[in-house]
Amino acid sequence: MSKLTKVLLILMIVGLVFGGVGAVDAFKVWKGDINDTKDIKIGDLKNGDLYEGEIPYAYDVIAEQVTTSTYGPVPVNKTKSPYYLVQNENCFFVINVTAAADQGDFDKLADLSWDQIDGKIKDDPEPVKVSAQASKMPDEVKKYLKEYCDEWGMSDSDYAELVEESCYLHTVNYNSMRYIPIAGFGVAILCAVILIIKKVTAPKIVNL
């Protein structure tokens, strides 16, 4: 097997993996199978469901995920993605915000939400628009959420009635979800075509 054939086979497998992993979510996006964040109620969030809409209130960062990129043993970059406690008209829930620009919007929303609670402003804050996907909440984040609500003075009964803790939302880019699987399958098909052409046009050895 030639080096080129090996490379093409590897690229084809990688393309199939990328295409296969994201195909279900891409289908949901193309189909428009997306829920509205304003309709979230206790028990509504299911792992894998897609959401889009406005977040009207945010409060504090209850946890933060830090990812460190390294070059060999040397750390070169740290990426932070905070978990915000937010609220719609029905309940409190958690959203993990990955993009730095969106984090700034949520920090501003949190400041304005507290200003309204403290009576510093009368008007509702400008909501933040999000595209997100639901995932099962990690136990550690669930622990921080309960501790935060306890410190806030929320009773256990109110917590059970008002706080969604089984799943959380994490922000996503729907354009990426739409097109990455297509690109993956496209690469796999292209590699397969090249391999077929290479096989067909390869010189045949004739034994005399």
Which residues neighbour 63 within 8 Å (Cβ) at sequence distance 6 or greater?
A: 82, 83, 140, 141, 144, 145
**Tell me: the pLDDT tens digits for 158-204?**
999 999 999 999 998 777 666 666 677 777 787 778 778 877 776 66
b vs e for 60-99, b when ≥16 Cβ sit within 10 Å of the residue's Cβ?
ebbbeeeeeeeeeeeeeeeeebbbbbbbbeebbbbbbbbe
Structure tokens at 86: 């937010």
pLDDT band at 75 (very low <50, low <70, confident <90, very high): low
DSSP one-letter string for 133-171: EEEEPPHHHHHHHHHHHHHTT--HHHHHHHB--SEEEEE
Domain boundaries in the chain?
Answer: 3-28+180-195, 32-176
Residue 54 has pLDDT above 80, yes or no: yes
Neighbours of 132 (CB within 10 A): 24
The residue-averaged pLDDT of 94-115 equals 93
Any alpha helices (H) in the chain, and if so which ranges? Answer: 3-31, 100-117, 139-151, 156-162, 174-201
Q: What is the reported pTM?
A: 0.75
Beta bridge partners of 84: 61, 95
Both tokens of residue 95?
């959203």
Structure tokens at 192: 């397969």
For the chain, percent of residues with pLDDT exceeding 70: 79
Average pLDDT estimate for 101-112: 93
121 CB-side CA count, 13 A: 11
